[in-house]
């Protein structure tokens, strides 16, 4: 961070997978953290007098007011992930406007909005930088992409028109000690059954370790050079062939890995796109330094293994 002074920081959605890691990281650095989330059970294991938890959604403005009161910065992670447009409008977008209004009225120094690489829609070139067009109608989840892109614009507009500095961050697939995802779970099931693992050739994505996400967000805080800017964060680009090999190893399988040419791929279009994000802008302007590729891939394999163990335990 750019200052040694301890801050009061509100994290919306702080009980989610990314939020839990960020909450712990900021507390470890000595900051006071306030979390607002509808589901707070995952934070019960954190015993720290500098942590305040508010169980509520952002659309509950009366609960939101005391959440924002007195904080120096807001890191906005909360999202419903609903496929219902009305729910997205009523909860996500309406809640964001309430949050921004409260941030303005209480003179919050900085708002950081956690977005997604989904706003890029479909890669037109690789690696994908922040200047890539937002082809949200072509996204694998168009409603999600459209709403996230709109949220980015709202944050930046409030920054320009109403004086609360905003920064946008985008990433593809975050992981920590474990990792989720429908496609990954399907690969694990296929591998455990000994069936061939089919993956598109020359495709993959920029995975982001939670530690690097926390680093990137913290480096954005109160840095004037980040105000009004958008940054990609990534840790390591991993091909689906490499992921398949990790899956095979953690399941102890001898499944054959078949790489299908992208033009012949008939599976999920999401898997066939090369989701390599450029983090050059974050490196240059924020001093962002993700972990080295060998360590990152090793930690990804551990996360996949933990995902597999969780799946086995449930069955």
Can you give the CATH number for the domain in which 114 is found? 3.40.50.720
| Same structural domain, 157 and 222 | yes
**Pair 121, 48 in one domain:** yes
Distance CA 199, CA 197 (A): 6
Dist CA 39 CA 57 (whole Å)? 9
**Rounded CA separation 90/24 (Å):** 30
Does residue 115 sit in the same domain as residue 203?
no
Mean pLDDT over the full length of the chain: 95
Asked which of 41-50, 84-93, 282-291 is least confident by mean pLDDT, the reply is 41-50
Q: Residue 22 falls within a domain, yes or no?
A: yes
Tokens 């953690």 -> residue: 250
Q: Would residue 34 count as lying in a domain?
A: yes
Structure tokens at 138: 């072509």
Dump pLDDT digits (tens) for 196-215.
Answer: 999 999 999 999 999 999 99
Residues 47 and 111 placed together within one structural domain of the fold: yes
Percent of the chain at pLDDT > 70 equals 98
pLDDT value at 1 more than 60: no
CA 53-81-105 angle, to 5 degrees, is 50
The whole domain housing 67 covers 8-172+208-232
28 in any annotated domain: yes
58 and 100 both lie in a single domain: yes
Predicted pLDDT of residue 268: 86
Residue from 148, 182, 172, 178 nearest 80 by CA: 148
Q: Are residues 258 and 144 in the same domain?
A: no
Domain check: are 221 and 196 in the same one? no
Cα separations in angstroms, 161 against 24, 35, 94, 113, 124:
33, 27, 18, 17, 32
Number of folded domains in the chain? 2
Report the interhelical angle of 240-251 vs 293-314 (nearest 10°). 50
Binned at pLDDT 50, 70 and 90, residue 4 comes out as low
Are 160 and 36 part of one and the same domain?
yes
For the chain, list the strands marked E by DSSP. Answer: 8-12, 32-37, 51-55, 73-76, 110-114, 166-170, 173-175, 197-200, 204-209, 230-232, 236-239, 257-260, 274-275
pLDDT tens, residue by residue, 111-166: 999 999 999 999 999 999 999 999 999 999 999 999 999 999 999 999 999 999 99
């Amino acid at each position: 961070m750019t200052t040694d002074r301890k801050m009061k920081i509100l994290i919306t959605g702080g009980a989610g997978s990314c939020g839990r890691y960020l909450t712990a990281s900021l507390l470890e650095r000595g900051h006071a953290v306030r979390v607002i989330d509808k589901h707070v059970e995952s934070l019960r294991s954190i015993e720290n007098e500098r942590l305040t938890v508010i169980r509520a959604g952002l659309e509950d403005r009366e609960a939101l007011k005391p959440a924002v009161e007195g904080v120096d910065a807001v890191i906005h992670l909360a999202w419903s992930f609903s496929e219902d447009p009305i729910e997205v409008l009523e909860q996500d977008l309406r809640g964001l406007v309430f949050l921004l209004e409260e941030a303005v009225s209480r003179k919050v120094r900085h708002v950081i909005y956690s977005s997604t690489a989904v706003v890029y829609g479909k890669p037109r070139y690789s690696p994908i930088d922040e200047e890539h067009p937002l082809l949200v109608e072509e996204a694998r989840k168009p409603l999600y992409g459209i709403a996230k892109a709109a949220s980015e614009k709202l944050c930046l507009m409030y920054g320009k028109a109403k004086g609360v500095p905003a920064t946008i961050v985008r990433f593809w697939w975050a992981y920590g000690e474990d990792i989720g995802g429908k496609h990954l779970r399907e690969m694990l099931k296929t591998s455990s059954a000994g069936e061939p693992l089919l993956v598109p050739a020359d495709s993959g994505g920029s995975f982001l370790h939670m530690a690097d996400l926390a680093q990137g967000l913290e480096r954005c805080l109160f840095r004037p050079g980040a105000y009004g800017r958008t940054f990609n964060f990534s840790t390591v680009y991993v091909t689906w062939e490499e992921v398949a090999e990790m899956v095979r190893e953690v399941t102890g399988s001898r499944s054959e890995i078949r790489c299908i040419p992208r033009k012949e791929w008939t599976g999920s279009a999401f898997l066939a796109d090369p989701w390599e994000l450029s983090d050059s802008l974050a490196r240059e302007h924020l001093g962002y330094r993700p972990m080295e590729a060998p360590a990152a891939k090793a930690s990804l394999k551990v996360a996949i293994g933990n995902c597999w163990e969780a799946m086995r335990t449930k069955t």
